[in-house]
Amino acid sequence: MTAGSAERIHAALIARISEGRLQPGAALAETALAEEFGVSRTPVREALQRLARDGLAERGPRRAFALKTPDPAEMAGLFEAVGEIEGAIAALAARRMTEIERAALAGLLEEEREADPAAYSALNLRVHAAIRAGARSPVLARTLEALELQTLPWRAMNFARDAGRQARSRSEHRAIAAAIRAGDPDAARLAMQAHVAGAFLAATRPLSE
Amino acid sequence: MTAGSAERIHAALIARISEGRLQPGAALAETALAEEFGVSRTPVREALQRLARDGLAERGPRRAFALKTPDPAEMAGLFEAVGEIEGAIAALAARRMTEIERAALAGLLEEEREADPAAYSALNLRVHAAIRAGARSPVLARTLEALELQTLPWRAMNFARDAGRQARSRSEHRAIAAAIRAGDPDAARLAMQAHVAGAFLAATRPLSE
DNA sequence: TGATGTCAACCTGTATACATATGCCGCGAA
DNA sequence: TTCGCGGCATATGTATACAGGTTGACATCA
């Protein structure tokens, strides 16, 4: 019992989407994928069902799976929801973080100030992870993760980043951290929502900024 | 090609959970379910995978599926997340509902005032549906639905309702609607969060109130 | 009597076979 | 030339067969 083919294929497909190696709307035929991965259709079916559950694939007219095409309007709704949930997380963090956690968050921002562009992305993730941890809500954290996964094809299409965005992102982080440190949930929520909106706009208009 | 066995079985299992006919922790053996539903293991597998994705089942030590046991702490976290998301929905509704929608919501509350206990439950659903529709966020609506589904075993365990809860629920609805009508997102959010918390407490302590 | 080793039954993971429906392609007629 | 129809190829839905492993019981020995 190898026990894990489906999971492996699921991860492989997500990686392909992330790298842009799967075009939006691409057909995901069970037979072809089974042959390609050297397994039978059964684990492929499970992987595709999981992908559909993740919101990354949908069933076509012939019940066949196809990669979801990122609809701009739907993506805007997705980012809005991400902003609301991450805002709620920030508000909870402002209420619940311990002094040590607040200090650790401040420390992360110090690191961030002198980080080169290559290291910035990883630090950005750590900042958000620290806030998630401080919110004490595994349910909201899981929900956020699921929604962010659905933004993956969009991010894969718009990977262009302008240099100015990074500076603004840092400044937004500081505003969030300041509100959290001050224990102001409403300000933390608003700052986080502005941050997510800024990231969305940067991803949406990579050329015009 | 019948095309839908898995969906039927999935729905049947959810119905059983909802009716309390499946004990928490109950083993969900593929073979037994396949024989019971008169199908093969394949659609049963798909139904169980969907159930696990819904957060209603989890895999045991032998990779077998078992009904998730409702953990009080986890349920509290779940209701908190529901409160945050439904609060966000209420805040968005306060900003976005048209005048006609606000009037319709007020009309629902009028109906609610003179509803007998039997009709109240359906009206309660309509109130929340009206607010969801006014929020213009299908993503948050879907997310909320997914989380509420996970509270199902908990609600199945604690179906006791006291008469006082219904009166308080009506009053909470009025507070939410008033904030929405006034276009006050923050007040709408807080009122909705208080409403969800009240429902959770009523479900948690059905005897002590 | 208790402990341990072995065996058998069962359950999941995977592969494959079969049924069925759909889309495509070619052919014929208007 | 174009429209319509029929057959074929193929893909999914479902069923069943096979493989690997774990659990549990039962028998045997100290």
Q: Sort strands B57-59 and B27-28 into parallel, antiparallel or unpaired.
A: unpaired
- Dist. CA B49–CA B36, nearest whole Å: 18
The answer on pLDDT for B122 being more than 50 is yes
Position A209 confidence tier, pLDDT thresholds 50, 70, 90: very low
What pLDDT score does B164 carry? 80
The answer to whether A53 touches A10, Cβ cutoff 8 Å, is no
- Which ranges in chain B are annotated with CATH 1.20.120.530? 72-208
- Residues of B in Cβ contact (< 8 Å) with A81: 137, 139-140, 143
- Dist. CA A101–CA B141, nearest whole Å: 32
Q: Cβ of B143 under 8 Å from any chain A Cβ?
A: yes
The answer to whether B9 touches B47, Cβ cutoff 8 Å, is yes
Q: Is the CB of A23 under 7 A from strand C?
A: no
Of B77, B137, B186, the CB nearest to A137: B77
The CATH number of B72-208 is: 1.20.120.530
Beta-sheet strand order (sheet of B65-67): B27-28, B65-67, B57-59
Write out pLDDT tens, residues A11-20: 999 999 988 8
Give the residue from chain A lying closest to B91, CA to CA: A84
Distance (Å) from CA A41 to C1' C17?
13
Neighbours of A41 (CB within 10 A): 14
Of B45, B88, B138, the CB nearest to A77: B138
Average pLDDT, chain A: 89
Position B208 confidence tier, pLDDT thresholds 50, 70, 90: very low
Of B49, B81, B139, the CB nearest to A81: B139
Least confident of A162-166, A199-203, B26-30: A162-166
H/E element holding A76? helix A72-96
- Dist. CA B166–CA B14, nearest whole Å: 26
- Which ranges in chain A are annotated with CATH 1.10.10.10? 2-67
The answer on pLDDT for A2 being more than 60 is no
- Dist. CA A157–CA A142, nearest whole Å: 24
Write out pLDDT tens, residues B9-63: 999 999 998 888 888 888 888 889 998 898 999 999 999 999 999 999 998 777 8
What pLDDT score does B204 carry? 74
Average pLDDT over residues A107-118: 87
Percentage of chain A modeled with pLDDT above 90: 63
Size of interface A-B (CB pairs under 8 A): 60
H/E element holding A58? strand A57-59
Q: Rounded to two decimals, what is the model's pTM?
A: 0.90
Highest mean pLDDT of the ranges A159-163, A169-173, B40-44, B130-134: B130-134
Give the residue from chain A lying closest to B185, CA to CA: A186
Average pLDDT, chain B: 89
- Tell which wins on pLDDT, A175 or B71: A175
> Does B80 sit within 8 Å of A84, measured CB to CB?
no
The answer on pLDDT for B124 being more than 80 is yes
Q: Residue B66: what are its φ and ψ, rounded to 5°?
A: -140, 150
Q: Is the CB of B58 under 7 A from strand C?
A: no
> Does A80 sit within 8 Å of B85, measured CB to CB?
no
- Residues of A in Cβ contact (< 8 Å) with B84: 85, 88, 92, 137, 140
Q: Cβ of A45 under 8 Å from any chain B Cβ?
A: yes
The answer to whether A193 touches A83, Cβ cutoff 8 Å, is yes
The CATH number of B2-67 is: 1.10.10.10
Position A201 confidence tier, pLDDT thresholds 50, 70, 90: confident
Write out pLDDT tens, residues B179-192: 999 999 999 999 99
Average pLDDT over residues A43-62: 89
What pLDDT score does A3 carry? 63
